[in-house]
Amino acid sequence: MGVVLSAIFFGAVAVQLVYILFIFTKVIKHEDLETPSIQTKLPSVSVIIAASNELENLKELLPMLDQQDYPNFEILVSDDRSADGTYDFLLNNEAKIKHLNFLRIKDLPAHFTAKKYAVTMAVKKSKNDVLLFTDADCRPSSDLWIRNMVNQLTDDKDIVLGFSRYDLELGGLNALIRYETFQTALQYFSFALAKAPYMGVGRNLMYRKELFWNNNGFASHHGLLSGDDDLFVNQAANKNNVAISISEETVTNSVPKKTWDEWFVQKRRHLSVGKKYKLKDKVNLGLLWFSQLLTWFMFIPAFFIRADWFEAPEWSRIPNDFLKQYHLAHWYPFNDWMRLVLGVFVVWLLVKWLVLSKVNKKLLNTISNSKIPYHDFLYTVYLFVFGIITLFSNPKKIKWR
């Protein structure tokens, strides 16, 4: 039994180190393409926002988008049956916000979920060949958001994955939300750079309209509440057609959930569609997440195994006489198995800490470097809890609230 437990622990650490050293480090090396100086080559863009009762957010967001430094774009709001005065606001400000266009959805077809229908109608109405998506509660970090996202959309790319982070606030929930968002971005960015793209987030996502229609839009998952972003990217992406953008100018910022209940419902909804990912993506993510769970949770069991078969080299041992001199003879087992397990775990943790700290710098210091080990353990608990919930849930029965 001890041999099996130790093999599981060391195997999990080995898998983790492969991901950390050969996949995650790709984000550290990445640099966005610079904005070209010839503006006439820039394609026209439709910025699409599906909004339901988001009047206050739209009042703030639309004037900001209207000031984007880009020669040819429209802001297209898909008003999904709002009852808070959104439609009247759009009508009254159509002339003031010069790039604004909108459509009003009055009824929802029985076979469609709300956001996917709102997005589909917006794509149909859009005037331009490049689509850039965000949410009403997001704010672009600069007036170069559209320009720099477009610049990553080279001739061989159809999708650009952007970074969307949550505002810094006080409290443990906010810290966990920001760390989980950082981890999610790290994973979809690094896998995309490793030629295995699997998802994006609709708060900051660009793709060509032609790609939407060539993949039949949301037809394969139109009845699921979530997936207008990650499931679409999962089905439309291939190893060559995805780019990423992580420059400061292309980040969008959002207000995070304020209560544990709200966040729980949000994450349960988001994670529910993971069952619909391609098999290779489920295998990649499964290995990553399961190896993390095993590394953290198997450390203590592996540490206390009575590994009589293992004997450390003599040169690596702390002399027993030295331990006796300081009344530490009862710690002699550290000379062998315990020191090996502890050493492997500490090396893994330090390597991960270093790599994630460097990635964090690339992602604009989204999290606290000093608290990475602590938050990584909490993130592991999060993976365990939501993994169990997702395993036994039916994505078709997940509710919005």
Sequence ranges of the domains in the chain: 2-25+284-397, 32-266
Predicted confidence band of residue 41 (pLDDT cuts 50, 70, 90): confident
Question: In the numeric block, which tokens belong to residue 23?
Answer: 């996949």
177-217 tens-digit pLDDT: 999 999 999 999 999 999 999 999 999 999 999 999 999 98
What percent of the chain is modeled with pLDDT above 90?
69
Residue 174 has pLDDT above 70, yes or no: yes
How much is the pLDDT for 401? 40
Predicted confidence band of residue 380 (pLDDT cuts 50, 70, 90): very high
How much is the pLDDT for 332? 65
How much is the pLDDT for 333? 60
pLDDT, the chain, mean: 90
Residue pair 231/145 in contact (Cβ under 8 Å)? The answer is no
Residue pair 70/45 in contact (Cβ under 8 Å)? The answer is yes
How much is the pLDDT for 198? 96
Residue 54 has pLDDT above 50, yes or no: yes
What DSSP letter does each residue of 154-181 carry, written as one string?
-TT--EEE--EEE---SSHHHHHHHHHH
Best-predicted range by mean pLDDT among 172-176, 268-272, 314-318? 172-176
Predicted confidence band of residue 384 (pLDDT cuts 50, 70, 90): very high
Mean pLDDT of 66-79: 96
Residue 396 has pLDDT above 60, yes or no: no
How much is the pLDDT for 187? 97
The fold of 32-266 is: Spore Coat Polysaccharide Biosynthesis Protein SpsA; Chain A (3.90.550)
What percent of the chain is modeled with pLDDT above 70?
91
Mean pLDDT of 365-378: 96
Residue 303 has pLDDT above 90, yes or no: no
Residue 331 has pLDDT above 70, yes or no: no
How much is the pLDDT for 392? 60
How much is the pLDDT for 394? 52
Mean pLDDT of 144-153: 96
How much is the pLDDT for 398? 43
Residue 353 has pLDDT above 70, yes or no: yes
Residues in CB range of 112: below 8 A, 6 or more apart: 120, 222, 223
Residue 336 has pLDDT above 60, yes or no: yes
245-265 tens-digit pLDDT: 999 999 999 999 889 998 888
How much is the pLDDT for 337? 78
pTM listed for this prediction: 0.90
Is pLDDT larger for residue 396 or for residue 110?
110
- By three-state DSSP, how is residue 75 classified? strand
Predicted confidence band of residue 400 (pLDDT cuts 50, 70, 90): very low
Q: How far is 72 from 45, CA to CA, in rounded Å?
A: 7
Q: How far is 225 from 221, CA to CA, in rounded Å?
A: 9
Residue 399 has pLDDT above 50, yes or no: no
How much is the pLDDT for 103? 95
Q: How far is 243 from 220, CA to CA, in rounded Å?
A: 24
226-236 tens-digit pLDDT: 778 889 999 99
28-37 tens-digit pLDDT: 999 999 866 4
Residue 272 has pLDDT above 60, yes or no: yes
Which has the closest alpha carbon to 219: 206, 200, 237, 232?
Answer: 232
Q: How far is 24 from 1, CA to CA, in rounded Å?
A: 33
304-317 tens-digit pLDDT: 886 667 776 777 67
Q: How far is 144 from 399, CA to CA, in rounded Å?
A: 36
How much is the pLDDT for 35? 65
